[in-house]
Each structure stands twice: as structure tokens, then as C-alpha cells.
Structure 1
Amino acid sequence: MTARGSATLAEVMALDPSQNAIGAGIKRFRLQKKWSLKELSEHSGVPLSTLSKVENGQMSLKLEKLLRVSSALGIDVMQLVQPAEPEAPAALVTGRRSLTRHGDAKITQTENTRYEYHASDFSRRLLTPVVIEVLPGRNPEPVKHQGEEFIFVIEGRVEVLTEFYEPAVLEVGESLYIDSTMAHNVRALDGKPARVLNVSSTPRASDI
């Protein structure tokens, strides 16, 4: 679950490549497949020049093209907005923990949403916890991805839009649990920003 503008999935506030989470994500997964920009363009149908500008933080992609890119890379579109995880052995490790102190969360900023990723140093996790600040005045596009999500309102009021249900208004302290493969998104109400805790199951390679 993420709230995005109706024109694009994510349009970063600053166009500095270091702050361009979407472009950095595309480049990271492209290099993991050892593809050139030309190869990604051929597999996704998105022009090479467009992909180059996106990776360098000079422009953003509309949702349709972003979905084509993520499909070509063989990943879930939500993985592109998550911080890069440190490499770790594939073997299951028990007794792990990740402590996120105040100010230590990894930040991703889009046009109308701010994401605070917790446990970002915890690789190969099954859940992705994020505190999301949703700014008012936007009608977000519905998105869908593998997994499930828990949405809990910390501040403000939000409306959760889902594909098969009537919109649900959530107040502070209220929550919603959904199947993420159903198109969904959240918008802030009352002309004020809202903050929600979002915990989503992390897609596995076998799920994509």
C-alpha cells in the first residue's frame, strides 16, 4: 500500500539521483540481471532514453510503464520503492532482530508521500514495516502486488480504496488487513496529512 499521485507512481521531490529511489531500484535490479539499458528497453518496451533519464533522476515513469519495467525485471513493483537490502546468506537464521532508533529509518520521498522504512538492515525478512505520511489533495492510482498488508492509522483520517469493496474510512487507532493482489491505495481526508503504519509481506521470488 502506498499513496501516489494520479499521474505517476512516484515523482521524487528532488531530482538528485541519490534521492531517486525508483530510478536507483531499477538500476539495481537491472545490474543484478547483468542487463544493459538497451536490453531492459527491449524486454520492457520502454525507450532506452526514457530508462536512462529515470535511472539518473531526471524524470519519473507513469504506472503503466513502471509495471512493464518491473515485469521485465521479474520483480514486484513494490520492490522498486524499498531500500536496497544488504547481502545475506540464503540459509534461514533464527534469533535475529533489528532495532530502528528515532531518526534511523530509511526515508523515501515521493510527490505526495513520505515513507519511513524500519528494519531496513534486516535482510530476507518476511515483512516490510513502513510508517507512511500521506499528504492531502491527491487521488492516488490503485496498485496491486503479491502478498498481504496491515494498515493502522497513527494520525489523521484516511480512506482506503480497494478493488472489490466500498471505500473504508479509518480513524486513529483503526486498522484494515487486506490481500495486496486486490487493487488498493490510501488517501488522506479532511485536507490534512495522515500517518499510517503499513506492514506488508515481502514478495518471494516464487510469488512473482
Structure 2
Amino acid sequence: MPSPVSSSAAPTLGLLLRGLRARNGWTLKEMSARSGIPVSTLSKVEHDRLTLTYDKLQQLSRRLGMRMSELFAEDGDEGEAPVTARRSIGDLAHSVRVETPNYDYLYLCTELRRKRMIPVLAKVRARTLDQFGPLVRHAGEEYFFVVSGRVVVHTEFYDPVTLDTGQSMYIDSTMGHAYLVADGCDEAEILGVMASGDDELMRSLLDIHEEQRLRSAAMPAL
């Protein structure tokens, strides 16, 4: 006889939005008016039939007067036992998408909270460090595999390295790093996993994207 599905499944984005709306006593129509996102879209998200792009998550958090990372926060439970037997099937249609002129990140398995491994599929288009901006640093370590194209990896303490399709690298993420597309490629695609003992790694990564967005918005147009 099949084992019953646990009733303590990790909350989805839809469940988190319903909780946010309930805590504030808003109807779907009121939340739509506050966020600028149509009622039909919010309803589909709340019923886990649709996800939101990174831009829509930014819009939602900005209009509601909160940091985007707070959408992924859970109430603490000091007496909670360690989570076991978790699983999640990756689905690009339900990924959290970060789309910018220089790269696209598709964060996978985002319904699992407090992950210590963050899987992400990234499309790299930045060609220079000027385009990319300051080197990125965050807690933990990361591994990535070049799915297509060629990638130039810049790190704080090593000379740049060019990786071809099928090659990979493992680095300390606290070391400044940047991934650029190599000459001769319009775009490169990498599959990566970022890991940390910090339960708030996903929140930290989203905060980095928000800082990059603000920095890009402040730069004068060429």
C-alpha cells in the first residue's frame, strides 16, 4: 500500500501569498489594487497554477512596501524537528526567473524553503566585467557545469579561465566571482548548484539581484 503523502509539505509561493493576504485581511481584489497584479493572475498563483517572474515578484514586493526576500520568509519555529524525506521535481515553468540584459537565472525547486542547496539554470550574456558589475560574493560554495557555449570565469584570486561545453568548476562562493560569455558566443548556458550551511542562502541571492537591479537602474544610459 503506498505511503500517505505528508501533510507537512513545504509551502509553495501560492501558500505564502495566501498567508500574506490573510495576515493583512485583504481580499484578492484589494491585493490586486495594492500590487498592480491582476486578480486572475494572483488567483492562479495562490492555487499553484502559475508562478511569478522575478520582475513581477519585484513589483509585488515594491508595491506592498516589503523586501522581495520577505516573500520567501517563514515564521520561525524554534521547536521544529529537522525536516526529512523532502523532495522536489524541478520544473522550468515553475521556476523563479531573474531576467536582466546580462543574464537570466531560473531558480529551480523554489517551493522548498530553508534549502542548503540552490539549483539554478543560468543563461549568460555579459561579455565584460564593466557589463557584469562588481564581483559577486555570498556564503557557501558552488558548482556549475557548462551546458552550452563557452564561459570565462573571473575570480578574485585566480587568473580568468575559459570553460568549454561539458567542462565544470567548483569554487568558494565567498571569493569574488563573475561568469562572462566567451568571444565567439552570443550566449552560454550553465547549470549550477550553490550550497551553504546558511538557511537564508536563497534570500541572500535574491538580495544580491535586487542590489544589482538598483545599481543598473542608477547607471546613465549609453
TM (norm. structure 2) is 0.54
Structure 1 residue runs without a partner (length 5+): 1-15, 32-54, 56-79
Which 4+ runs in 1 deviate beyond 4 A?
Answer: 20-28, 205-208
- The residue identity in structure 1 corresponding to 2:194 is S
- The one of 144, 147, 150 aligned to 2:143: 150
In the TM superposition, residue 205 of structure 1 has moved relative to its aligned partner by 6.4
In the TM superposition, residue 170 of structure 1 has moved relative to its aligned partner by 0.7
1:108: which partner in 2? 98
Are 1:196 and 2:190 matched, yes or no? yes
Conserved 8 A contact 1:162-1:183: yes
For residues 205 and 126 of structure 1, do their structure 2 counterparts lie closer, same or farther at Cα, with a shift above 3 Å needed? closer
2:122: which partner in 1? 132
Are 1:165 and 2:158 matched, yes or no? yes
For residues 119 and 202 of structure 1, do their structure 2 counterparts lie closer, same or farther at Cα, with a shift above 3 Å needed? farther
Please state whether the residue corresponding to 2:159 is helix, strand or coil.
Answer: coil
Please state whether the residue corresponding to 1:166 is helix, strand or coil.
Answer: strand
Work out which structure has the larger RCO, using CA pairs closer than 8 Å and 6 or more positions apart in sequence.
Answer: 1
Q: Deviations over 1:133-152 (max 9, x none)?
A: 01153432311111101011
2:112: which partner in 1? 122
Structure 1: how far apart are the matches of 2:62 and 2:119?
A: 21
Greater helix share, structure number: 2
Identity of aligned residues (%): 31
Conserved 8 A contact 1:83-1:120: no
In the TM superposition, residue 106 of structure 1 has moved relative to its aligned partner by 1.8
- The residue identity in structure 1 corresponding to 2:191 is L
Structure 2 residue runs without a partner (length 5+): 1-35, 38-53, 205-222
Please state whether the residue corresponding to 2:93 is helix, strand or coil.
Answer: coil
2:218: which partner in 1? none
- The one of 41, 55, 63 aligned to 1:19: 55
TM (norm. structure 1) is 0.58
1:85: which partner in 2? 72
Structure 2: how far apart are the matches of 1:162 and 1:188?
A: 15
1:181: which partner in 2? 174
- The residue identity in structure 2 corresponding to 1:155 is S
